Amino acid sequence: MSVTPATPTSGATTKPQETSYKVLGAISVSHFLNDMIQSLIFAMYPMLKGGFNLSFAQIGLITFTFQATASLLQPLVGMYTDRHPQPYSLVVGMASTLSGLLLLANATTYPMLLCAAALVGSGSSIFHPESSRVARMASGGKLGLAQSVFQVGGNAGTALGPLLTAWIVMPNGQHSVAWFSLAALLAIVVLWRVGQWYQGLQRQGAFKAKLRQGARDNGLSRGRIVLAISVLLSLLFSKYFYLASITSYFTFYLIHKFHLTAEQAQIHLFVFLFAVAAGTIIGGPVGDRIGRKRVIWVSILGVAPFTLLLPHVDLFWTTVLSFVIGITLASAFSAIIVFAQELLPGRVGLVSGLFFGFSFGMGAIGAALLGSLADYAGIDFVYQVCAFLPLLGLLTIFLPDIRHTGKA
């Protein structure tokens, strides 16, 4: 990957820039490694539940700790870096994730597990808004495509986590998690190179021009922008509350209802997470072509029939429906992020931090509440309740049509 961009020629700030696929690839690989490490925490839940004698509520609190530290800091990081760009902040975030990973491998008490989750969450709070900014700078105006390439790395890493847990961690024990520190070190090297490219843009005055690509005044009143942002956040609430039910408790649901082993349940979780990765890469380019609002309609509301069926079918159809749900639900995120960036042009860090942070926060609250609900009413009841969440997709009707910024 080239670390020094070409010197801008006269008028370079107004000409469309080429898409930097090397940078997009680097940030996607980093996202893959970052989220693979994070997913180890969730995939280890059956092991941790037995080894530390945890309740569902305590499992939910681990997720809450991770998601809360990730969500609360992200908007602040985004706001600060909008004003004071930090090319090497991504390296700092990954170092925090590495520290949390090593603590997780050696934790002997429940509070140590919570501290490990907090360190990984803090790393995530730095990584996501800044890496989303890098993806936009490297987009060359292909905003949906860039966000999808960036996002698919994270979703692929999240999907791989359960498999690696089943193949490596469960047979070898909790301490084997430390082996994944090599992945964190690789990510630090890649992000250092990305930081050099980022810093090169600042030195040559191309930084703001890169961020402005594809962004124009949308002509909307402040009230309509506030309403649209509120609708997008409501849609993310629906999406991430449902995803929390899968990432934190799907393995327990499969073990309870279909009497699978923990390793077998991890394979089924991988199927769902693989579908999420596939849906992510589809959603952005399709949004660039047919409009992001249409993608949001199909992704959120369109998944409702499948979520309503899921609690009432056998193992085969549970697997099929979970795949369909994953690929459909995931296609919305890139569209939602770019739509929000078009609502607030020039505030990429704030928007990315707010939306990533809100997503993590909803995942945190969802995991904690659903864990308590599972303890009280049973794991089956959790999926019967969550099945209705995608109906909030009806709120998409209140989103404006932003036609002059491309297609929205």
**Tens-digit pLDDT profile for residues 208-217:** 555 555 445 5
Domain interval for residue 306: 21-405
The CATH number covering residue 293 comes to 1.20.1250.20
* Domain annotation covers residue 6: no
pLDDT value at 89 more than 70: yes
Highest mean pLDDT range out of 89-98, 125-134, 361-370? 89-98
* Domain annotation covers residue 15: no
What whole-number distance in Å separates Cα of residue 122 and Cα of residue 356? Answer: 13
Mean pLDDT taken over the chain = 83
For 170-194, what is each residue's pLDDT tens digit? 888 889 999 999 999 999 999 999 9
* Residue 57: predicted pLDDT: 84
Annotate 96-112 with b (16+ C-beta within 10 A) or e (fewer). bbbbbbbbbbebeeeee
Q: Express as a percent the part of the chain with pLDDT over 90.
A: 32
Total domain count, the chain: 1
**In the predicted model, what is the mean pLDDT of residues 267-272?**
88
**In the predicted model, what is the mean pLDDT of residues 3-29?**
63
* Residue 316: predicted pLDDT: 95
What whole-number distance in Å separates Cα of residue 227 and Cα of residue 50? Answer: 45
Residue 172: CB atoms within 10 A of its CB come to 11
pLDDT range class, residue 406, cuts 50, 70, 90? very low
- CA-CA-CA-CA torsion sign (386, 388, 393, 398): negative
Highest mean pLDDT range out of 106-115, 238-247, 397-406? 106-115
* Residue 215: predicted pLDDT: 46
pLDDT range class, residue 290, cuts 50, 70, 90? confident
pLDDT range class, residue 314, cuts 50, 70, 90? very high
Task: Identify residue 219 by its one-letter amino acid code.
Answer: G
Query: CA angle at residue 74 from 72 to 79, to 5 degrees?
Result: 115
What whole-number distance in Å separates Cα of residue 270 and Cα of residue 194? Answer: 29
The tokens for 327 are 């690929």
* Domain annotation covers residue 14: no
* Domain annotation covers residue 8: no
Q: Express as a percent the part of the chain with pLDDT over 70.
A: 90
* Residue 266: predicted pLDDT: 82
* Domain annotation covers residue 16: no
What whole-number distance in Å separates Cα of residue 122 and Cα of residue 125? Answer: 5
* Domain annotation covers residue 148: yes
Highest mean pLDDT range out of 200-209, 219-228, 315-324, 333-342? 315-324
Residue 171: CB atoms within 10 A of its CB come to 10
pLDDT range class, residue 157, cuts 50, 70, 90? confident
For 40-70, what is each residue's pLDDT tens digit? 887 788 888 888 998 888 888 888 888 778 7
Question: 235 vs 208, which has greater pLDDT?
Answer: 235
* Domain annotation covers residue 1: no
The tokens for 316 are 């085969």
State the alpha helices, DSSP H only, in 215-347.
222-258, 262-290, 292-300, 304-309, 315-330, 332-343
Global confidence as pTM: 0.66
**In the predicted model, what is the mean pLDDT of residues 325-350?**
83
**In the predicted model, what is the mean pLDDT of residues 12-37?**
79
* Domain annotation covers residue 374: yes
Contact present, 380 and 311 (Cβ < 8 Å): yes
pLDDT range class, residue 377, cuts 50, 70, 90? very high
Report CA Rg, the chain: 20
